[in-house]
Amino acid sequence: MQNLKLTLEYDGTAYHGWQVQPGLPTIQGALEETVKRISGEEVRVIAAGRTDAGVHALGQVANFRTNKGLALDTWRRALNGLLPSDIVVRCVDHAADAFDARRSATRKTYRYAIWNAPFPSALERHCVLHIPDPLDVASMAEGATSFIGEHDFSAFRAADDSPPHPVRRVVEARFAQEANRLHFIITGNGFLKHMIRIIVGTLLDVGRGTLGPEDLERILHTKDRQRAGRTAPPHGLCLIEVMY
């Protein structure tokens, strides 16, 4: 039996997230159904990051086990020939038997894209959050540094999320700007449910001047979700890279 590692790109607009949900289109469901059409096998495709509904990926990593002895390039071409056009397999590799796309990952990098202009983008409307008002990007960048390090991110998790260990390590949290497009880039060893989107929503409050950059460390310490900002919409978020 082979353990195959997939590198995936997808537009999450039409999907109810990664994880299989009966009667709903999901990325995992589309992949598992496509593998079944190729090999006749019922497989479970495991992802490094179980992205939410509407969230995209450029570098999602997944794996599954198969007895079908196809060449790697044949697998890639067969999958791409049958998958919907908004899901693309960029690469298929052999993985060690112990490899698990989720458990073996050491870091993930996500990007949140903001279109900061008086007018929206017609071409990029499904992958950027439009903010028409001016933002104080310097203050947002200053505030973002508060998240670097090991912290209890309870203030930045979904209200229905209660993991026993809410501490995560963030090694990168920064902004990059090119013309009207503003990217928030964050890398860490893992993220709580909606954590990045809540961080972005709170940083937008800093950009608008309703919070100061110095307030973010205080919000972290409260561990109170009510102190942080709104959850930013999912369509601006993209999983960029998974590291092992």
- Domain holding 235: CATH number? 3.30.70.660
The verdict on 88 and 49 lying in the same domain is yes
Q: Quick one: 162 exposed, middle or buried, by C-beta within 10 A (0-12, 13-18, 19+)?
A: exposed
Of the residues 60, 94, 128, which one is the last residue of a structural domain? 94
With respect to residue 100, please indicate whether it lies within any of the assigned structural domains. Answer: no
For the chain (length 244 residues), average pLDDT per consecutive 10? Answer: 98 98 97 98 97 98 97 98 98 98 98 98 96 98 98 95 91 96 98 98 98 97 96 99 98
In angstroms, rounded to a whole number, what is the distance separating the alpha carbons of residues 8 and 10?
A: 7
Beta strands of the chain (E only): which ranges? 2-10, 46-47, 56-66, 87-94, 107-116, 129-131, 149-152, 167-178, 181-188, 237-243
Same structural domain for residues 166 and 208? yes
47 and 127 inside one domain: no
Give the separation between CA 190 and CA 79, rounded to whole angstroms.
29
Tell me, yes or no, whether 191 lies in a domain: yes
For the chain, the distance separating the N- and C-terminal CA atoms, rounded to the nearest angstrom, is 22
Same domain? For 57 and 151 the reply is: no
pLDDT of residue 131: 98
Q: Are residues 69 and 13 located together in one domain of the fold?
A: yes
pLDDT at 239: 99
pLDDT of residue 163: 82
CATH number of the domain within which 70 lies:
3.30.70.580
pLDDT at position 161: 85
CB 87 within 8 A of CB 26: no
How many CB atoms sit inside 10 A of residue 181's CB?
15
* Number of domains observed in the structure of the chain: 2
Same domain, 60 and 114: no
Residue range of the domain that includes 71: 2-94
Q: 195 lies in a domain? A: yes
Q: Which residues are catalytic?
A: 52
Q: Are 169 and 154 in contact (CB under 8 A)?
A: no
Residue 70: phi and psi, rounded to 5, are -90, 150
Q: What pLDDT was estimated at residue 160?
A: 87
Contact 200, 182 (CB under 8 A): no
Q: Is residue 99 in a domain?
A: no
Closest CA to 111 of 225, 213, 227, 199: 199
Do 114 and 222 sit in the same domain of this protein? yes
* 13 and 127 share one domain: no
Residues 132 and 34 in one domain: no
Query: Strand pairing of 107-116 and 129-131?
Result: parallel
